[in-house]
Structure 1
Amino acid sequence: MTDLLPTKEREEAQTSLIQAIYEVAIDPNVYDKLVDLWGRHLLATLGEDLQTPQDLSPVVAQHLLRAFEILNRLGRQEQAQAPAQPKSDRAELRLSQSGEILDTSPLATEVLGAAPQGSVFDLALSSESAARLRLEIGGKKASALASNAADDAASEIYVFFTKGDKHPYPMVREQPAEGGTGQDFILAGLHNKWTEAHDQILRKMFGLTDAETRVARELLTGATLPEIAATTGRSVDTLRTQLKSIRRKTYTSNQQQLVRIMTGLETLIKTSSMSSNSSDRTDHHFILPDGRKMAYRCFGPEQGQPCLFIHNMLNGPNFPDALIPEIHRLGLRLICPIRPGFGSSDPDPVSRRHPREAPDRFCADMSAFLKHLGHRRLVAIGHMSGAVFAFRLAQLHPKLITGVFNISGAVPLTDMGQIRAMHYRQQIMALTARFTPRMLPTLLRAGIAQIDAGGVEAFLNALYRQGTPDRAIAEHAEHRDILFTGFRQTVQQGHWSFAIDSHHVVRDWSRYCAFLAQPVILIHGTADPVVTEASAQSFAARMGFQFHSYSDVGQLVLYQQSRDVLQRLKQMASATLE
């Protein structure tokens, strides 16, 4: 603690903090250093029990407020809207005649574990594909690749397996890229990963049962019937019977033919996905009674069971591709307003001046919005900090909201132990919002500067530590893109919406949960870095709510356990809406 240090060391610590305050205005990469130094100073000021805050150093406070003015005058950098890193739509390998990997796309590195100067035969691929690939690369056909690649590329499919889950990953031969030697061997992925859409194609187009679909999927990974029997608990004889049924229904006689069937359906999968989901990702707009514009998105069939998705302060209504077909399959209609001040939705000046009024203001907006859409009964989904608004909406409009479904939801802060249990970055932000709210805008504005300067990766590192379930989820390219999009959506109009949410989540908002007649379920991860399982479970028990937790799952439970979470939401919707 700083207050226990000798006077000279205290002065040096304060000097370092003040230097970082001004450095961050010039170099946004200093943001992490600033938060660390500010955190030490704040913890020392608050004392051991976090209950008896002493006066914050007026010198430090003055410099923080001045830095905020400087950052605001400097304005936002134009590159705020640019992607953090180049995206690759597919996995691609460029191979030499010997099978050496000459170049690889980022997606190929992530999905297959490929790296330049390695050998393609060190990657996981089926034995049949490996034998054929050795013949193609090392045999007489290698010299003719450039001339006939366009003619028979579709017939040359090689089944690789993804690095983590070992799902089949078909790749097809293509013409050499520009700059190649003319003898280069190009393999391009046919899809990013095996998804629910592929399972649906097998089930719907060929009439495969769920059990047969799983067997087909396992066969595509190169597994033998005895291996499948060992992992599924079914007998080899049963699997033989199912295999005969699969071949009869798909009109195939071997593994390669089945792969080619799926390859031919790849275009259908993409076209179907685009036609059914393109409108899902489109921002619509509604003009609120006071003239403000509110953006919103809708996911799922128009006649599906309506659920109001209330997003949190960091992610927005952005979902993985695999989640959208599942929403359609379950017959759910997710209505996702983008809250005031987030994304392209106009800010609410009243909530900005008086953050405590934000939940009631949001409920008034929703009343007009949902009436416009013609929805009279919905389930309210509170995602993380969106829980505050979901509970208040259910409380004020009991006939409109039939149930509350919280995913990684915030819980009322009733003791400082809940803050102490948070990871360091979240803890410092929570303490700042609770005890020194005037200082919070500077930290948030400096964080925006870091994101604007292309420091989204550093921002992500601070949120999700290495070795945690959340970090493992965030390492996936699609999830990372979703998180990056959410961060930029949060800061698109500045820091005030984040500050408004912070005002509520660091206080006891139990009053919004009182006297609810609707069913409530809390979905949580045991490794949540902000709200511990014990805290969420205690809150649920105290209020009489249902509680379900997932082991070894963090705050990103919606991404890690998406199918099960949606299935539970479907159960609540069916029970309360019909």
Structure 2
Amino acid sequence: MTKTQGEEDAQTALIQAIYEVAIDPHVYDRMVDLWGRHLLHTLGEDLQSPQDLSPEVAEHLLRAFEILDRLGRKEQPAAAPLDLQPSKRAELRLSQGGKILDASPLAVENLGATVGQSVFDLALSPESATRLNQQLGSPASNDIYVFFAKGDKHPFPMVRQIPSDAAGACDVILTALHNTWTEAHDQTLRQMFGLTVAETRVARELLTGATLPEIASVTGRSVDTLRTQLKSIRRKTYTSNQQQLVRIMTGLEALIAPESSACENTGRTDHVFLLPDGRKMAYRCFGPDRGLPCLFIHNMLNGPNFPAALVRDIHRLGIRLICPIRPGFGSSDPDPVTKAHPKEAPDRFCADVTAFLKHLGHARVVAVGHMSGALYAYRLAQLHPDLVAGVFNISGAVPITDMRQIRAMHYRQQVMALTARFTPRMLPTLLRAGISQIDSGGVEAFLNALYRRGTPDRAIAERVENRDMLFTGFRQIIQQGHHSFAIDSYHVVRDWSRYCDGLQQPVTLIHGATDPVVTEDSVGQFAARMGFDAEIHSNVGQLVLYHKGREVLQGLKELAGKTLG
């Protein structure tokens, strides 16, 4: 079909804006507006799959992404130099023969590593050296090897990981589980397992690969006394050999924070759990240690960040809010499988979180889904009915599949939803450019992008106690870029209602009547069709959790009290 002059001019303006936004984030609003007009024109009145989306426009959008990727916030591929990796830990990249191909600055500082030398020239425990030599050519991952720091000779465990781009034979990456052994590590062992000071010293020496006679000469104790202490250590840590003890001790390092080795009630500090495949999952906890355990599954905009008044109510009501940060968000490692296959995200997250809850000792929880986190809560309840006692979803806990739902959205959100639904290859450019706009424009750009002036959500977002909390939370959640945001966008505009099939647990949906993304009617209809309870708050929008926090938490407590016993 031949384009009119007006259509040609509009396409030219769009292409110009696509390239301008790469160097001037303030052009973003104009680019989204022009892209939205182009997309809506190709979709037509019925919002059907675009038949004549300009290949030229698509090519320019993808090229603009490459430019943004170079000029702006760039995610590092697995094969990038290690000093550019997001991780601030010591890291080594090894060939299959053990040659050091790359070393991060901390690996150089702590281990004395230099590119070109053999990893076996570094200080390793004899057991670790033997095992690493045997396993270099194998595809094994998540094994732990004990190195020793260059200066103080403290144990320096490193975990083996397989690069996310690996296919068959590949290089080996070793990542430190900590950078220095401190009193906090000793304190963690004592607090978690009840080890005495003397037993902690023995456990630490065992980690270095020392034998009992060698430990006896250092500590001045007899070998018989040390054997008795070793039996006690293994009994308390549920281990039967040194390698198991190494895994326990190095895994516990992930729990250590600057001021505390426990999951703090304030929730201000990210703690880390080492997943079975070696990825790290950050998490926060709020509320009393023995409170009603509720698993909070965050959305793609803010993560587990709450105003001080809400945290006080969590404590007052006796709720223990356990908040894992999903893969690729915040400081949690991305999942390479999900990155390549977005549809796998719910099941992969469920596998991660079951291991995480088992580690924390929770056999039964209420799953709380916030906005896009809702579909993960449903899936977890469906796959693990013995683990999930009930589901409590807040804001937009329904699939967005009906075009009437999309038409009811604010224009910016409508464009994003239609792009995710019909032209997902174009979504990364929009997301990356939006992040750049917020980077350059700060909190005002953030508020203007998400919450229209004059709406209940904007009024809540502009409150002093919420403004910086929301903005800081967003900056944290996107710190690794757009990929996880794109994965959630893929899911929310598709029919994931199958995750609700066969649920026997009670389900409560909390929703704000003026939510700009999901309508009140769609929530009511979905709840009626599925047999769920729905509680609609009038004169409240998507930020109902922050607007009606006390009432929402009271409802959560009631559900948890009934289902958890």
TM-score exceeds 0.5: yes
For the 8 Å contact 1:413–1:509, the answer to whether it is kept is no
Query: What is the CA–CA distance in structure 2 between the aligned matches of 1:298 and 1:550, rounded to whole Å?
Result: 27
What are the Cα deviations for residues 318-366 of structure 1, in whole angstroms up to 9, with x where unaligned? 0010011111111100000000011100001100100000000000001
Query: What is the CA–CA distance in structure 2 between the aligned matches of 1:472 and 1:562, rounded to whole Å?
Result: 15
Query: What is the percentage of aligned positions where both structures have the same residue?
Result: 77
Q: Which amino acid aligns with 1:351?
A: T
Residue in 1 aligned with 2:19? 22
For the 8 Å contact 1:469–1:552, the answer to whether it is kept is yes
Residue in 2 aligned with 1:303? 290
Shift of 1:6: 7.3
- The change in CA–CA distance for 1:276 and 1:486 in structure 2 (over 3 A counts) is closer
Q: Which amino acid aligns with 2:471?
A: F
What are the Cα deviations for residues 159-218 of structure 1, in whole angstroms up to 9, with x where unaligned? xxxxxxxxxxxxxxxxxxxxxxxxxxxxxxxxxxxxxxxxxxxxxxxxxxxxxxxxxxxx
For the 8 Å contact 2:451–2:457, the answer to whether it is kept is yes
User: Do residues 366 (structure 1) and 363 (structure 2) align?
Assistant: no
Query: What is the CA–CA distance in structure 2 between the aligned matches of 1:292 and 1:466, rounded to whole Å?
Result: 41
Shift of 1:455: 3.9
For residues 23-172 of structure 1, the aligned pairs below 5 Å read 23-76=20-73
For the 8 Å contact 1:403–1:572, the answer to whether it is kept is yes
For the 8 Å contact 2:342–2:487, the answer to whether it is kept is yes
For the 8 Å contact 1:527–1:555, the answer to whether it is kept is yes
For the 8 Å contact 1:408–1:525, the answer to whether it is kept is yes
Secondary structure at the counterpart of residue 453 of structure 1: helix
Query: What is the CA–CA distance in structure 2 between the aligned matches of 1:69 and 1:350, rounded to whole Å?
Result: 22
For the 8 Å contact 2:287–2:315, the answer to whether it is kept is yes
Residue in 1 aligned with 2:367? 380
Which of 376, 380, 385 pairs up with 1:393?
Answer: 380
Shift of 1:75: 3.3
Residue in 2 aligned with 1:556? 543
What are the Cα deviations for residues 458-508 of structure 1, in whole angstroms up to 9, with x where unaligned? 232121101100000011122111110122122200100000000000000
Residue in 1 aligned with 2:439? 452
Residue in 2 aligned with 1:223? none
For the 8 Å contact 2:303–2:477, the answer to whether it is kept is yes
User: Do residues 570 (structure 1) and 560 (structure 2) align?
Assistant: no
Query: What is the CA–CA distance in structure 1 between the aligned matches of 2:420 and 2:296, rounded to whole Å?
Result: 25
Q: Which amino acid aligns with 1:16?
A: A
| Structure 2 runs not aligned, ≥5 long | 76-261
Residue in 2 aligned with 1:212? none
Q: Which amino acid aligns with 2:490?
A: H
Residue in 2 aligned with 1:268? none
Higher mean C-alpha displacement, 484-493 vs 501-510: 484-493
Which of 471, 482, 498 pairs up with 1:484?
Answer: 471
Residue in 1 aligned with 2:274? 287
Secondary structure at the counterpart of residue 332 of structure 2: coil
Query: What is the CA–CA distance in structure 2 between the aligned matches of 1:77 and 1:278, rounded to whole Å?
Result: 34
For the 8 Å contact 2:274–2:281, the answer to whether it is kept is yes
For residues 507-522 of structure 1, the aligned pairs below 5 Å read 507-522=494-509
Query: What is the CA–CA distance in structure 2 between the aligned matches of 1:326 and 1:277, rounded to whole Å?
Result: 16
Query: What is the CA–CA distance in structure 1 between the aligned matches of 2:499 and 2:524, rounded to whole Å?
Result: 18
- The change in CA–CA distance for 1:335 and 1:374 in structure 2 (over 3 A counts) is same
Which of 7, 21, 43 pairs up with 1:10?
Answer: 7
Query: What is the CA–CA distance in structure 2 between the aligned matches of 1:29 and 1:278, rounded to whole Å?
Result: 40
Secondary structure at the counterpart of residue 367 of structure 1: helix
User: Do residues 351 (structure 1) and 338 (structure 2) align?
Assistant: yes
Residue in 2 aligned with 1:469? 456
User: Do residues 503 (structure 1) and 514 (structure 2) align?
Assistant: no
Q: Which amino acid aligns with 1:335?
A: I
User: Do residues 333 (structure 1) and 320 (structure 2) align?
Assistant: yes
Secondary structure at the counterpart of residue 357 of structure 2: helix
- Number of residue pairs the alignment of both structures matches: 379
Query: What is the CA–CA distance in structure 1 between the aligned matches of 2:511 and 2:402, rounded to whole Å?
Result: 20
Secondary structure at the counterpart of residue 322 of structure 2: strand
User: Do residues 542 (structure 1) and 529 (structure 2) align?
Assistant: yes
Which of 283, 287, 302 pairs up with 1:315?
Answer: 302
Q: Which amino acid aligns with 1:441?
A: P
Secondary structure at the counterpart of residue 518 of structure 2: coil
Higher mean C-alpha displacement, 300-309 vs 47-56: 47-56
Q: Which amino acid aligns with 1:369?
A: F
Shift of 1:76: 2.2
For the 8 Å contact 1:376–1:400, the answer to whether it is kept is yes
Query: What is the CA–CA distance in structure 2 between the aligned matches of 1:430 and 1:334, rounded to whole Å?
Result: 30
User: Do residues 527 (structure 1) and 524 (structure 2) align?
Assistant: no
Secondary structure at the counterpart of residue 296 of structure 1: strand
Residue in 1 aligned with 2:177? none
Secondary structure at the counterpart of residue 454 of structure 1: helix
Moved over 3 A (4+): 275-279
TM-score, structure 2 normalization = 0.65
For the 8 Å contact 1:343–1:492, the answer to whether it is kept is yes
Query: What is the CA–CA distance in structure 1 between the aligned matches of 2:266 and 2:464, rounded to whole Å?
Result: 23
Shift of 1:412: 1.5
What are the Cα deviations for residues 120-150 of structure 1, in whole angstroms up to 9, with x where unaligned? xxxxxxxxxxxxxxxxxxxxxxxxxxxxxxx
Residue in 2 aligned with 1:116? none
Query: What is the CA–CA distance in structure 2 between the aligned matches of 1:558 and 1:443, rounded to whole Å?
Result: 28
Q: Which amino acid aligns with 2:23?
A: I
For residues 245-284 of structure 1, the aligned pairs below 5 Å read 279-284=266-271
Query: What is the CA–CA distance in structure 1 between the aligned matches of 2:49 and 2:56, rounded to whole Å?
Result: 20
Query: What is the CA–CA distance in structure 2 between the aligned matches of 1:397 and 1:518, rounded to whole Å?
Result: 11
Higher mean C-alpha displacement, 356-365 vs 415-424: 415-424
Residue in 1 aligned with 2:237? none
Query: What is the CA–CA distance in structure 1 between the aligned matches of 2:401 and 2:419, rounded to whole Å?
Result: 17
Query: What is the CA–CA distance in structure 2 between the aligned matches of 1:276 and 1:378, rounded to whole Å?
Result: 17
Secondary structure at the counterpart of residue 322 of structure 1: helix
For the 8 Å contact 1:51–1:416, the answer to whether it is kept is no
- The change in CA–CA distance for 1:276 and 1:513 in structure 2 (over 3 A counts) is closer
Query: What is the CA–CA distance in structure 2 between the aligned matches of 1:551 and 1:346, rounded to whole Å?
Result: 39
For the 8 Å contact 1:288–1:368, the answer to whether it is kept is yes
For the 8 Å contact 1:307–1:334, the answer to whether it is kept is yes
Q: Which amino acid aligns with 1:421?
A: A
Q: Which amino acid aligns with 2:345?
A: A
Query: What is the CA–CA distance in structure 2 between the aligned matches of 1:324 and 1:66, rounded to whole Å?
Result: 44
- The change in CA–CA distance for 1:467 and 1:75 in structure 2 (over 3 A counts) is closer
**RMSD of equivalent CA atoms:** 1.8
Q: Which amino acid aligns with 2:302?
A: N
Shift of 1:279: 4.2
Q: Which amino acid aligns with 2:465?
A: E
Query: What is the CA–CA distance in structure 2 between the aligned matches of 1:64 and 1:276, rounded to whole Å?
Result: 44
For the 8 Å contact 1:277–1:324, the answer to whether it is kept is no
Query: What is the CA–CA distance in structure 1 between the aligned matches of 2:66 and 2:267, rounded to whole Å?
Result: 39
For the 8 Å contact 1:526–1:532, the answer to whether it is kept is yes
- The change in CA–CA distance for 1:55 and 1:43 in structure 2 (over 3 A counts) is same
Secondary structure at the counterpart of residue 295 of structure 2: strand
Query: What is the CA–CA distance in structure 2 between the aligned matches of 1:347 and 1:420, rounded to whole Å?
Result: 33
Query: What is the CA–CA distance in structure 2 between the aligned matches of 1:494 and 1:410, rounded to whole Å?
Result: 25
Secondary structure at the counterpart of residue 315 of structure 2: helix
| Structure 1 runs not aligned, ≥5 long | 79-274
What are the Cα deviations for residues 368-406 of structure 1, in whole angstroms up to 9, with x where unaligned? 000000000000000000001000000000000000000
User: Do residues 437 (structure 1) and 434 (structure 2) align?
Assistant: no
Q: Which amino acid aligns with 1:340?
A: P
Query: What is the CA–CA distance in structure 2 between the aligned matches of 1:283 and 1:61, rounded to whole Å?
Result: 39
